[in-house]
Structure 1
Amino acid sequence: MSLSVINPKQPFQPEFEPLIREVLACLKGGLGANLHSVYVYGSVARKSAIAGKSNLDLVVVTKSSFENNRATILNTIKWRAQQGHPQVQGVSIRTALVSEVANLDSIFTWGFMLKHCCVCVYGESLGDCFGDYVPSWEIAKHWNMDVEGWISVYRSKISQASSVKEQVAAQIVIAKKLLRASYSLVMYRDKRWFDDPVECGEVFLKYHPEKQLEIERLGILLAGRAIPKRSVLGLMDGFGSWLVKQYQKTEFRIG
């Protein structure tokens, strides 16, 4: 059974369309003929973004490197969003070269992302270069086998956070990662794909109902509530360690 794709014809939520147009104008003006294609992913792509809370997440693909003006272009986009678009928390931009994306080595990374997690908003979609994907352990491990590293990095960020705002921002990121990694652990059994972290947690519980409390607590972190650091770290240490071990076991069993 092939995995579903995001409907490219479904319009974006009206709150976010002006910013997308402005970003595209900035990219076309700054990159010119070097710009190959632009993609929106995340909650804005899924049309489930929350005004004032969500980010605009983008992938920018170019024909050749643009290191000479990369910082200027990306910082200008982020600054304009911050100044004139309070409907987003910020703009996150990932960049890649056409040669990196349209490559057999990128089947489970860029290929899967552009095919199933993105909507092309400019240029020729490279997602069309890849065939249909089916649920597999290969996809799951390519996207979430790094969960142990994420836990380590965000444990430090939360421990060292000097403000509630900084801590909450880190909590939200690691909660998303842990919820998505939870579902990816069972994706090869469930035969579907979810990118929304809440859905990921809900479906994961069908296979691991004993983790109800941990998933509920991750939902609290995702909602942006300020939680005592020791409680957040305890959840990351306990559930995170369990998740890492499950990935290791599954990889050993499936290969």
Structure 2
Amino acid sequence: MAGDATHRGLDPQGFIEREGSLGRVPRAFRPVVASARDRLLGLFGARLHSAYLYGSIPRGTARVGRSDLDLLVALREEPADADRAGVRVLGEAVDKEFPQIDGVGTLLYGRARLLSAAETYDMGWFVACMCTPLLGEDLAEYLPRYRPDSLLARETNGDLALLLPAWRRRIAEAGGSGNSEAALRPLVRFMSRHLVRTGFTLVMPRWNGWTSDLAEMAEAFGAYYPQRAEQMRAVARRGREPAGDAAVLRSYVEDLGPWLAQEYTRVHGVKSARDD
């Protein structure tokens, strides 16, 4: 299992093992996965290259009524705005139909981008190690194997400083809505998970392993940054049980986020620039 002191999500050669499988999908979520699969085929048809599950559902740790369905879709060409709108409508329909999930998130890319040199240690790694094949040809066959090193750390999460201004805008926009608690709750969940994963990948090369368990990530981080350990544990708890608290989000963009971005740059450097 990931996190075992002698294993920590690595194979005997020290490469990160792929997470999840269709066989681990809990019984309660199998109709959700089947519906999403069929809807993706109907939406994209021959334009669909491949589709994947990721997150708690293929890892077998999803909780009924609490967990979301996470999908990654690769098209044969770069997606257009209409394609993005299509997956949003698809996600809303699946979420409405199945009360056992709490939302649907879909990442949408073109095949060429996922296999590009620029994405090899970012979205390429994500597909190869974090995603479970659902439909089509598995892009992992064209990607390298990955170690938990500083290059991977930099290219996966070395852009937090660039993200923080957009986070501040999203918080301001959500806080101004009529139902702020409901609007802020998804942001708390998303930003909490992102910060915990960034904290973990900051120490990942020293910890020498991989895990997607938020609590375990926070503990790994805290072993190297004890002054921030309890803070990160609280962030991990909010990643699993979020509440729409504006003060929490402000602390993320005014305290933990800026500190973490600065420390990440000091240790691993800045993520390579992308065209977009």
The answer to whether the superposition gives a TM-score over 0.5 is yes
Distance 1:51 1:34, change over 3 A: same
Q: Which residue of 1 aligns with 2:159?
A: 146
Segment of structure 1 superposing worse, 186-195 or 115-124: 186-195
> Would the aligned equivalents of 2:84 and 2:108 in 1 still touch at CA under 8 Å?
no
Q: Which residue of 2 aligns with 1:203?
A: 220
Equivalent residue runs for 1:5-84 within 5 Å: 5-8=18-21, 10-65=23-78, 67=80, 70-71=83-84, 73-84=86-97
* Separation in structure 1 between the aligned mates of residue 223 and residue 197 of structure 2, nearest angstrom: 15
Equivalent residue runs for 1:166-185 within 5 Å: 166-185=183-202
1:69 offset after TM fit, Å?
A: 5.0
> Would the aligned equivalents of 1:175 and 1:221 in 2 still touch at CA under 8 Å?
yes
* Separation in structure 2 between the aligned mates of residue 111 and residue 86 of structure 1, nearest angstrom: 32
Distance 1:135 1:75, change over 3 A: closer
Count matched residues. 253
1:95 counterpart = 2:112: no
Q: Which residue of 1 aligns with 2:137?
A: 124
Task: Give a deviation string over 1:62-110, Cα, whole Å, max 9, x none.
Answer: 2124538525632441232132111122211111222222333321122
Distance 1:78 1:234, change over 3 A: closer
* Separation in structure 2 between the aligned mates of residue 111 and residue 219 of structure 1, nearest angstrom: 25
> Would the aligned equivalents of 2:16 and 2:209 in 1 still touch at CA under 8 Å?
yes
Aligned pair partner of 2:242 in 207, 224, 245: 224
> Would the aligned equivalents of 1:39 and 1:60 in 2 still touch at CA under 8 Å?
yes
Distance 1:3 1:241, change over 3 A: same
1:4 offset after TM fit, Å?
A: 1.7
1:195 offset after TM fit, Å?
A: 2.6
Alignment RMSD, CA only? 2.4
* Separation in structure 2 between the aligned mates of residue 72 and residue 64 of structure 1, nearest angstrom: 16
Task: Give a deviation string over 1:97-125, Cα, whole Å, max 9, x none.
Answer: 22222333321122201111100011111
> Would the aligned equivalents of 1:151 and 1:174 in 2 still touch at CA under 8 Å?
no
Q: Which residue of 1 aligns with 2:15?
A: 2
* Separation in structure 1 between the aligned mates of residue 211 and residue 157 of structure 2, nearest angstrom: 13
DSSP-derived class of the 1:156 partner:
helix
> Would the aligned equivalents of 1:26 and 1:73 in 2 still touch at CA under 8 Å?
no
* Separation in structure 2 between the aligned mates of residue 85 and residue 132 of structure 1, nearest angstrom: 36
Segment of structure 1 superposing worse, 3-12 or 136-145: 3-12
1:140 offset after TM fit, Å?
A: 0.9
Percent identity at matched positions?
22
User: AA paired with 1:249?
Assistant: R
Task: Give a deviation string over 1:147-171, Cα, whole Å, max 9, x none.
Answer: 1233333333334413111122211
* Separation in structure 1 between the aligned mates of residue 215 and residue 94 of structure 2, nearest angstrom: 26
